[in-house]
């Protein structure tokens, strides 16, 4: 059974700097996901620490914090059927060397440390990460999503 989900996506500082925002958003929209929140921001210390809380104490933690704050990010929330798994498939493996051809990371990233885009790895992570970057009043759920359009299309054929 397919389930409607929300997930958090961030175009990381290297993706923003390289002018890939539109291409990345386009890939999620082309798949049929609905963008319900989108903004550019400079990640604060509080947001960075909350985002990477599970890595605190690990040797690479300081580099993660420094990287996510090295320039603006574009934060977004997308919604659709199995959005978490679907978005991760569109992004590709964390390591661009092993990412499937045609994914964002395979197409645009060269090294794992600068892999262009972040996506939540579970529904629970998505809920936590969305709250770090968005207030409820910044998410726009009105309007049709892909599942509604498909149902309308099928009903029209009857």
- List the catalytic residue out of 2, 51, 89, 118: 118
In degrees to the nearest 10, what's the CA dihedral of 150, 134, 86, 104? 120
118 is catalytic: yes
Contact residues for 66 (Cβ-Cβ < 8 A; gap 6+): none
Tokens of 17: 């700097």
Kindly state the DSSP code that residue 53 receives in the 8-state scheme: G
Question: 4-11 and 73-81: which strand pairing?
Answer: antiparallel
Tokens of 100: 């499937």
In degrees to the nearest 10, what's the CA dihedral of 63, 50, 17, 24? 120
| Whole-angstrom distance, CA of residue 158 vs CA of residue 148 | 16
Tokens of 24: 């990345």
The residue count of the chain comes to 158
Residues serving a catalytic function are 118
């Amino acid at each position: 059974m397919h389930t409607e989900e929300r997930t958090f996506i961030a175009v990381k500082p290297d993706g923003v700097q390289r002018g890939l925002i539109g291409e990345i958003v386009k890939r999620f929209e082309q798949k049929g996901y609905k963008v319900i929140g989108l903004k550019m921001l400079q990640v604060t210390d509080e947001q960075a620490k909350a985002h990477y809380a599970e890595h605190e104490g690990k040797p690479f933690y300081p580099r993660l914090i420094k990287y996510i704050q090295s320039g603006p990010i574009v934060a977004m929330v997308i919604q659709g059927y199995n959005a978490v798994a679907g978005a991760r498939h569109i992004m590709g493996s964390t390591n661009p060397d092993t990412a499937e051809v045609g994914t964002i990371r395979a197409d645009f990233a060269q090294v794992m440390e600068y892999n262009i885009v972040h996506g939540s790895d579970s529904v629970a992570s998505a809920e936590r990460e969305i709250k770090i970057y968005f207030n409820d009043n910044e998410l726009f759920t009105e309007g049709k999503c892909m599942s509604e359009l498909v149902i309308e299309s099928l009903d029209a054929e009857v």
